[in-house]
A and B are shown apart, each in its own frame.
Chain A
């Protein structure tokens, strides 16, 4: 480990994460930077829906996050990096200024990155979708927008200008951790082994509690205590790209070789070629070693050159999901749920001309996740969950409507709970991808002062 150590803290793994844990690590972690991952396919999908509904389309919990950590960050000299901008980075930037002023924090520099929304450029270039091989133009009116996955370059540029808070529309989650390493250690953007190592550390950190015992705990084989007060991870990074992953004393959770190895494999494909906008990580060279309680050294990760072209997420309106739910109890409950399912299926198919292939019937408690070999005669309660894909909201509503008729008109012994137990309707926004030249993305960095 080199002499100089950079302390990076995870602030959130997703838009709705535990702000008590964010505040704790910001207050006591002696952090140089705190990084908020606020995005995911689902989050961006919601952002498009919020925009369609005329609502702000940046992370809708962004102000809450800042309220939780900003006083500690200004006290400790910790800079904030977040991909909270979504479809409205300017809105997120203005919100940051507003919160800083409310908290009496004057003179902070807020940077936000614009230009990731390349909808017009993609419309003009009309590239083919990687998933289908068909041109974007064939999506017609269902093409909602195009958002580029950002790299680390713009974050590094904003840090060089002294920004205290850096907001991107959708920088890669690992790139958000890489950027402060590049800035502080003056790593060159084509020092691929260091870039790979930095992205690898980012990958371990970006899901916050998932490296400190969350999603790991198994009450039999891998017990973890204190999940109710789980500590978010801290990376102590050296100039060579080695790091210690750790957490604050007194917080719940666990950081061990096993938790780090699990998170290393999370959502990866080929471990020798884990592709990011800023570079490619090779995890087959990584070494993981416990060096103390809740302290794990990660070293040896290497890297390869970044992809030639930039990946862009194409948002597509893809209809609606309708859902209805009902619970049957007692002897024969599974058979009753099957009969109920047949009633709903027959009505949707015969009365409403729904294709059977667009419907799904799950029996929760028996085989909704997998066919575990449950003895269906032995179960005494089962939940029937009916879902379907529909072209319109009105058509999708019929699922819940028909399921809600079952307590009166179907088999005996139905329980159907509160309205929110019963299902509902969701609009679907899905994603496909295209490649465009990086130089075609008109990134601009804007600066505000609180």
Chain B
């Protein structure tokens, strides 16, 4: 099964909400948003972060800008003023999320061979 690294198809921003972190994944190509929404679940995100977060996590959809927003509880060691962990602001969590590799039967549209050929031709 092909593996897709999120870094290759989306950008991300994260920040603190008390002891929770919010991580938004934003598709570079809006056409990839349905693929993201179908494959990047809260379970996938929690499994990726493993023991680095407590959970639970909630996922919100922003189809209008091609983005998913994850709010993960218990991620910042008590929050920015109290945390012993270095990144109590959670700004680095965006980069951690983008390391996630998703195994899927189908590729997101922007990575499908046809799309690549078109891009190559237009380039």
Q: Do A and B come from the same complex? A: yes
Q: Are A41 and B79 in contact (CB under 8 A)?
A: yes
In the complex, identify which listed stretch (A53-61, A106-114, A281-289) lies at the interface while the others stay far away: A281-289
A261 partner, pick from B16, B63, B65, B84, beta carbons under 8 A: B65
Q: A368 to B96, alpha carbons, bound, how many Å?
A: 12
A231 to B113, CA, bound (A): 39
Contact of B71 among A269, A387, A428 (CB under 8 A): A269
On whether the beta carbons of B13 and A269 are closer than 8 Å, the reply is no
Any chain B CB within 8 A of the CB of A103? Answer: no
Partner of B64, one of A263, A286, A371, A430: A286
Q: Which of A261, A272, A430, A431 contacts B67 (CB 8 A)?
A: A261
* With known contacts A368-B86, A369-B86, A388-B84, A265–B22 Cβ distance under 8 A: yes
Cα separation A431 to B12 with both chains bound (whole Å): 27
Distance of A211 Cα from B71 Cα, bound (Å):
21
| Set of chain B residues within 8 Å of A18, measured between Cβ atoms | none
Q: Are A285 and B84 in contact (CB under 8 A)?
A: no
Cα distance, A216 to B24, chains bound together (Å)? 13
A264 interface residue per 8 A CB criterion: yes
Smallest CB gap from B51: residue in A: A371
Given contacts A258-B28, A369-B92, A430-B78, contact A267 B22 (CB under 8 A): yes
Bound complex: CA A300 to CA B13 (Å): 22
B62 close to chain A: CB less than 8 A:
yes
State the Cβ distance, B33 to closest chain A Cβ, in Å.
Answer: 11
Residues from chain A with a CB closer than 8 A to the CB of B66 are 261
Q: Which of under 10, 10 to 19, 20 to 34, or 35 or more describes the interface residues of A?
A: 35 or more
Interface of chain A residues 400 through 437 with chain B (CB within 8 A) = 428-431
Q: Are B86 and A362 interface neighbours, CB within 8 A? A: yes
Q: Which residues of A contact B81 (CB under 8 A)?
A: 41-42, 45, 318, 428-431
Q: Is A77 an interface residue (CB 8 A)?
A: no
Residues of chain B contacted by A285 (CB below 8 angstroms): 64
Within A338-387, the residues touching B (CB, 8 Å) are 360, 362, 364, 368-372, 385, 387
Query: Chain B residues near A431 (CB, 8 Å)?
Result: 79, 81
Min CB–CB distance A419 → chain B (angstroms): 20
A222 within 8 Å of B by Cβ? yes
Complex Cα gap A428–B77 (Å)? 13
Evaluate whether A258 and B26 lie within 8 angstroms (CB atoms) in the complex, with A41-B81, A265-B13, A267-B15 already known.
Answer: yes
State which of B82, B85, B96 has its C-beta within 8 Å of the C-beta of A430: B82
Of residues 49 through 98 on chain B, the ones whose CB sits less than 8 Å from some CB of chain A are 49-50, 52, 58, 60-67, 69, 71, 77-82, 84-87, 91-92, 96
CB of A221 within 8 Å of the partner chain:
yes
A271 close to B60 (CB less than 8 A):
yes
A271 contacts across to B, CB distance below 8 A: 60, 62, 69
Greatest chain A CB density within 10 A among B28, B58, B60, B84 is at B84
**Are A266's CB and B26's CB within 8 A?**
no
User: In the bound complex, do residue B86 and residue A268 qualify as a contact, i.e. CB atoms below 8 Å apart?
Assistant: no
- Complex: A265 Cα to B91 Cα, angstroms: 13
Q: Tell me whether A190 is interfacial, beta carbon within 8 Å.
A: no
Contact A372 B84 (CB under 8 A): no
Query: A367: nearest residue on chain B (CB-CB)?
Result: B52
Q: Is A270 interfacial (CB 8 A cutoff)?
A: yes
Bound CA span A300–B87, Å = 34
Say how far A67's CB is from chain B's closest CB, in angstroms. 28
Q: Which 8 A-B pairs have the closest CB atoms?
A: A265-B24, A267-B15, A360-B84, A262-B13, A387-B84, A370-B96, A261-B65, A430-B82
15 contacts between A and B (CB under 8 A): A42-B81, A216-B13, A222-B11, A262-B12, A266-B13, A271-B62, A285-B64, A287-B64, A362-B85, A369-B86, A370-B92, A370-B99, A371-B52, A372-B99, A430-B78
- Besides A222-B11, A284-B61, A389-B84, 5 more A-B contacts (Cβ < 8 Å) are A262-B24, A269-B60, A360-B77, A428-B82, A430-B79
Q: Which residue numbers of B lie inside 8 Å of A, CB to CB?
A: 7, 11-13, 15-18, 20, 22, 24, 26, 28, 49-50, 52, 58, 60-67, 69, 71, 77-82, 84-87, 91-92, 96, 99
